[in-house]
Structure 1
Amino acid sequence: MLMKPSKLKIGDKVGVIAPASPPKSEPLKKGIRFLEDLGLKVKVGNSVHKKYGYLAGNDTERIEDIHKMFSDSDVKAIFCACGGFGTGRIVSRLDFELIRQNPKIFWGYSDITFLHTAIHQQTGLVTFHGPMLSSDIGLEDVHEASKESFQQLFHTENFDYTYDKTKLETVSEGVATGHVIGGNLTLLVSTLGTPFEVNTKGKIFFIEDIDEEPYQVDRMLNQLKMAHKFKDASGIIIGDFKNCEPKKRERSLTLDEVLTEHIASTGKPALKGFNIGHSSPNIAIPVGSIGTMNTFEHSFIIESGISEGENE
């Protein structure tokens, strides 16, 4: 059953956690000030400032932060400070019944993709793939459109992707409707063969990534293709693939050639050029809400990811 979290109001308390790698201190402070400037009160998780190698505290500490934020009735939304690595280590130990009983806004991207996929598939909760506090909002030069994405949480209007639509290109023509699912390509591939394997059946499937060479993107797309994830999808949205250029190899296919070969061959409606992912701006979208894409109109519209009050 689909659940939409309640919208935010001025004065609400929100939580900040680091379920993967530790955030940089100064950018995080700036990101927290941004939330406060939106009129929100901020509660910071216990593991946010901890360091355990490349993780923000050990697995138990990061899990406890997630559980505490979801169980705290005063906390109306949970924002991830940054991505990095680590959510795949903790997802099998999450209390999904606790999350189901306490639905609220959950926001992040990149490594957080594993949590988006698992939480939505296990509970039906709509979550938000959007810019993070330390690695996006806390940067020196943050795009206003990235900041504006947070307004989705205060209003229940449908999301209509309008940012620089001139960049959008058709990979394969058609119209598709379905629940929107996806995220970081590397993390989506890492779900395969696990109890949290991404389910694309009848869904609009979106992908993005960063710092992967075309041959690496090729390998991951091929794995998803062999697992029928593109065949099962109703449509495909291609987000930003930042710095995904040839580096090691003298000869290489281009990123566009790789994407076209794997995705156009599916015959499913597909659009590319979206500022979704490791881009500036980073446009947030609700994961799990029903969307409609139309390649003839270069449009992508998604139902609001939040409810007016009581969870739907």
Structure 2
Amino acid sequence: MSRLPQSRSKVQKLEPDDVVALVSPASWSDESWLAESIATIESWGFRARVGRHATDRLGYLAGGDRERAADLNAAIRDPEVRAILCLRGGCGSLRLLADVDTDALRADPKPLIGFSDITALHQVWRRAGVPSVHGAVAGTRMDTVRQLLVGERGEPVRSDRGQFGADLTTTGTAFGPLYGGNLDMLARSVGVVDNDLEGHVLLLETHREVGLGMVDRALTQLLLSGALARVLGVAVGTLEGFEEYQDREWTVLDVLRDRLGSLGVPVLAGLPLGHLENPVSVPLGVECELDADAGALAVAPLTA
């Protein structure tokens, strides 16, 4: 870890009684999940402030685009809010990319917490130069979020050799800022945001929806766009739903080896990140050390 630089983050660590905003920029959550999230935030010594439209419903969305963007921007502009928790992913974050008040975010940096569909918004935070958190306040490892918010350096995230996909791990080490998230969301943002990841360690997680073709198309789109041309390493999280799936004798591991192999960089897989019952949360936009030989991903603190 001697080569791992300190975080370049400008976000402040949270203190007792600080405010965490709870918003729904994508799909809606039921009332029990909202209540549980509030209870968790308050048990950590923070104040939970629920967005005005956080419980709205419009089909699978948590209300209209204007209302969801308004809640997000209200949290960004509120000087009392020191972190923003997305209650769930689902669908809808991509619709808000042009509406986020990035000027206000740069003026008062605060981390966003979420994963899956929230990957679209993580790209706005990256563009603004503000670190964020890939993860969720859920499961037995939810305290990793609290640790990040109060400025603690978490333990390195270790590869689980029993997790499906761990066999993708190669050898070597890589150093650079960690960035990424859900594979499909990263690919769908090509041409929408600047997603050139030169000098970064790429984080990827995915889940099965329409088969191996989705994974192939998404990776190919990122490769052809040049977004992955100069990445330094790849950290692979969960590959949910692909465990028993094959298509003409190929598995998702064959697709990933075929596509990622062209990068010629270290790959560390089997990480407990993404669509898991008990996911680990990690900062995005801060320095990391990926050590495929040791099976560990060490990430600098989220806060300055």
Q: TM-score, normalised by structure 1?
A: 0.88
AA aligned opposite 2:75: M
Q: Which shows bigger deviation, 15-24 or 168-177? A: 168-177
* 1:214 and 1:245 in contact (8 A); partners too: no
2:125 match: 119
1:310 matched residue in structure 2: none
CA contact (8 A) 2:158 2:295 kept: no
SS of the aligned residue for 2:55 comes to: coil
Q: Structure 2 matches for 1:97-136, cutoff 5 A?
A: 97-121=103-127, 123-132=128-137
- Is 1:10 the counterpart of 2:16? The answer is yes
Match of 2:34 in 1: 28
Please give the alpha-carbon distance, in whole angstroms, between the structure 1 residues aligned to 2:58 and 2:162.
Answer: 44
Rounded Cα–Cα distance in structure 2 between residues aligned with 1:83 and 1:223 = 23
SS of the equivalent of 1:22 reads: coil
SS at match of 1:42: strand
**Do residues 204 (structure 1) and 201 (structure 2) align?**
yes
Q: Determine whether 1:229 maps to 2:235.
A: no
2:174 alignment partner AA: A
Pairing of 1:178-189 with structure 2 (within 5 A): 178-189=176-187
Q: Secondary structure at the match of 2:190?
A: coil
Is 1:214–1:255's contact at 8 Å kept on the other side of the alignment? yes
Instruction: Give me the whole-angstrom Cα distance separating, in 2, the residues matched to 1:145 and 1:94.
Output: 30
Q: Is the contact made by 2:159 and 2:269 (CA closer than 8 Å) also made in structure 1? A: no
CA distance in 2, matches of 1:58, 1:252: 43
1:274 aligns with 2:271: yes
Task: Supply the RMSD in Å over aligned alpha carbons.
Answer: 2.1
Where in structure 1 are there 5+ consecutive unaligned residues? 308-312
Aligned to 2:242: 244
- For normalisation by structure 2, the TM-score amounts to 0.90
Tell me if 1:171 matches 2:169.
Answer: yes
Unaligned runs of 5+ in 2: 1-6
Indicate how the Cα distance of structure 1 residues 104 and 41 shifts in structure 2: closer, same or farther if over 3 A, else same: same
Deviation at 1:164, TM superposition (A): 4.1
**Change beyond 3 A, Cα 1:250–1:241:** closer
Shift of 1:250: 6.3
Q: How many angstroms apart in 1 are the aligned matches of 2:247 and 2:135? A: 35
- Residue equivalent to 1:262: 259
**Structure 2 counterpart of 1:161, one-letter code:** V
Could you tell me how far apart the structure 2 residues matched to 1:57 and 1:102 are?
26
User: Aligned pair in 2 of structure 1 residues 302, 159: CA closer, same or farther (>3 Å)?
Assistant: farther
Q: Which residue of 1 aligns with 2:4?
A: none
Q: What do the CA deviations read for 1:202-239 (whole angstroms, capped 9, x no partner)? A: 10001101233222212211222222333320111111
Residue 42 of structure 1 and its aligned partner are, at CA, apart by 0.8
**Offset at residue 158 of structure 1 (A):** 5.5
> How many residue pairs are counted as aligned between the two chains?
295
Query: SS at the partner of 1:189?
Result: helix
Contact 1:128 1:287 in 2 (8 A): yes
Q: Does 1:83 align with 2:114?
A: no
CA distance in 1, matches of 2:136, 2:293: 29
CA contact (8 A) 2:9 2:286 kept: no
Return the alpha-carbon distance in structure 2 between the equivalents of residues 189 and 59 of structure 1: 22
Q: Matches of 1:20 and 1:120 in 2, distance apart?
A: 19
